[in-house]
Amino acid sequence: MKLTKTAETVLQKRYLAKDEEGNVIETPEEMLWRVAKAIAKAEENYNGDTNKVAKQFFEIMDKQLFMPNSPTLMNAGTELSQLSACFVIPVDDSIDGIFKALWDMAKVQKSGGGTGFSFSRLRPQGDIVKSTMGVASGPVSFMKIFDASTEQIKQGGKRRGANMGVLSVHHPDIEDFIKVKWEEGVLRNFNISVAVTDDFVNALKNDSDYELKNPRTGDVIRKIPARKIFNLMVDGAWRNGEPGSIFIDTINKYNPTPHVGMIESTNPCGEQPLLPYESCNLGSINVANFVKNGGIDWEHLKEVVWIAVRFLDNVIDMNNYPIPEIKENTMANRKIGLGIMGFADMLFKLGISYDSNEGVEFAEKLMSFIQEESHRASSALAEERGKFPNWKGSVWEKKDIKMRNATTTTIAPTGTISIIANCSSGIEPAYALAFRRMNILDGEEFFEVNAVLEKTLRDTGIYSDELIQRIAETGSIQGIAELPEELKRVFRCALEISPEWHVRMQAAFQKYTDNAVSKTINLPNQATRKDVEKAFMLAYDLECKGLTVYRDGSREEQVLATRKTEKKERKVIRPPAFQEPRPRPKITTGRTIETRTGCGALYVTINEDEHGIAEVFVQLGKSGGCAASQTEAIGRLISVALRSWLNPDALIRQLKGIRCPSIGFDDGEIVTSCADGVAKVLERYLRGEYTKITIDLKGIKPLTEFVEEKTEEHITKLIGGVCPECGNILEYGEGCMTCKMCGFTKCG
């Protein structure tokens, strides 16, 4: 494989086998052979040529034409051998059912899988519990238990645990569910989506009421205006991208095995609707590598589709399932999800604009070809190996088509595998065309440029290092005057494409996808709630199976702002020789300031005596635990240092910028850790933003500093926060936060 620096980093951190001490013990080529041989071993069950097939599997991966989902790359050929990414676990309305689901979740996530749940069966808050004559706490309270469990499981896992929580729009607790993530830090390991029905949308379009029903009894509890609930959904999506929406009736309209059961949830990123206790393994074709001489090599693409379908069907046989119910249902339906990545790069190569009728029509042509060939490949496997066990009664039996797999296609997130394949993610437009990166292995800073753009610039003779640096400042070429307009028309980024075209592109792919499509509808920061509403209704009318919107900066906005302040003078004095800290005075005066961190509210109390700051107390809003003891320790050490005449600026410099896995935002400013939060509070305090102060440490030569008067300004960055593992920027796409530097993802 031809690997970029970023791909090398991702492979070493995430995929290559390691020994007990964490040392990498295989090369990328050896990893591919490990995977190819392990998956080809399934050929022994059907008298196939294992060596020949293993070579085919290796070649399509080595040439970066196809990559399976991350668990397969990580675990195939290892003792774990859990190869699936997507699982749905039922949650029944009993204490046994709830905690059975929790136990099942733990086993799945320990093995590296993401889990989806519908909590719609649980009785509403305040409903009766007959066995104890008590009252139910409702689905939201139980979701918090699942969230806390995931928090602990992910600490030792190879992939972070991730969940999808779904609640029916008809559930009496739907308002609480919609608003649950409006409070920062709640359900941090969940994506949440409302299961929207046709009845609800019809009521919405007619501006009428709809029914809320108790799932325990089926009784109608009350009727409320559909517009009220819809406005809450829109408001939440506008605020921070959640809840998403899954159109559950549309999903079940295309359910291939309705005789087996109804679909009630999806995996964490929403692209894989599944029956209870069902799993699916995914893989993606890098379609950008099939562009030749200005067109598509359709024959080669067909060949790779057929090999990929065989690969994914083999995975089902070679998989080590975490619980028996999942093995039983997965084997019975044999769902696979073949998708694509590199679509934006493909359009760049073909000179087609993403936001155009030509782009949408080409998407339909491409996906219809892959859909048709994957069905043919599955049908051929059915002749060779037999139909999937639940074929009788399925939509395929009604069509009189033998199929090895109940489904064959899915458009999944490809965050890290697209880095390995060196292409754009999934069907998303380019996030940005150039980045400034920091290689976390050796500290080297470098520019990463979209490969197609770089080649185009070189071919046209306008490439220069200075030009790339200018592009990297914004990630876009639209503001660079000397570039030709035709280039700007084609090379457009996510936020330069209107929401309508995002939705229409998702619908184009959904039209020819068995399962569903992971796609983020990007909105500019200034987008209104009305814009969100339009996207929702268009997605429903075009028969998308779900919708995820993200308004730029709504969740991770970084606003650089300075308040108007008077010029203030503070005197900082160099201390004398080493000495004991001055005693704590009996009486001090000060302020307690609240700031927001990823761990919750942090309260910083700053007290002064006649010499200046005498002590700092730091307390987390959450009492107890290791984090609380560490924040207390930070306060004690700062207090001793300040009473020892240490310049507070030196303390601020040491604490500021320290990172932890949980980041927060305080008045639009990113807070990377509790220590960082304390430093920023101290800095603002010394600037006089909380109170006017004059520090005069007697007997020491003053150094006068001024805080200049500035007008308020706001700059919104296209970022998704800070990666907790490498400190680079997280990108929001395909319904998930992903670091393109090290492969970290918040969605497992």
SS3 category, 344 = helix
DSSP code of residue 484 = -
Query: 256, 291, 263, 288: which is closest to 277 by C-alpha?
Result: 263
Place of tokens 């309305």: 93
Residues 6 or more apart in contact with residue 89 via CB below 8 angstroms: 101, 104, 105, 108, 115, 116, 117, 276, 277
Q: Are strands 273-274 and 265-266 parallel, antiparallel or unpaired?
A: antiparallel
Q: How far apart, in Å, are the Cα atoms of 128 and each of 119, 124, 125, 214, 217?
A: 17, 9, 9, 11, 11
DSSP string of 551-571, one letter each residue: ETTTTT------------EEE
SS3 category, 486 = helix
Q: How far apart are CA 670 and CA 672, in angstroms?
A: 6
Taking a C-beta distance cutoff of 8 angstroms, is the pair 181, 163 a contact?
no
Q: How far apart are CA 354 and CA 284, in angstroms?
A: 20
DSSP code of residue 123 = P
Q: How far apart are CA 99 and CA 317, in angstroms?
A: 29
Q: How far apart are CA 436 and CA 720, in angstroms?
A: 15
Q: How far apart are CA 620 and CA 367, in angstroms?
A: 51
Annotated catalytic residue within 86, 269, 280, 742: 269
Catalytic annotation present for 736: no
Annotated catalytic residue within 271, 557, 615, 734: 271
Amino acid letter, 492: R
Query: 694, 691, 701, 705: which is closest to 612 by C-alpha?
Result: 694
DSSP code of residue 391 = G
Please state the separation of Cα 359 from the chain's center in Å: 26
Annotated catalytic residue within 69, 189, 255, 267: 267
Catalytic annotation present for 599: no
Taking a C-beta distance cutoff of 8 angstroms, is the pair 336, 407 a contact?
yes
DSSP string of 207-227, one letter each residue: T-EEEEE-TTT--EEEEEEHH
Q: Which two tokens stand for residue 239?
A: 């605020």
| Helix runs in 261-409, H state only | 298-318, 324-333, 343-350, 357-385, 395-398
The dihedral over CA atoms of 55, 57, 58, 60, expressed in degrees to the nearest 10, equals 120
SS3 category, 145 = helix
Q: How far apart are CA 525 and CA 495, in angstroms?
A: 9
* Widest pairwise Cα distance in the chain: 95
Place of tokens 């992903």: 738
Q: How far apart are CA 268 and CA 190, in angstroms?
A: 8
H helix or E strand, kind and range, residue 135 = strand 134-135
Catalytic annotation present for 271: yes
Q: Which positions are catalytic? A: 267, 269, 271
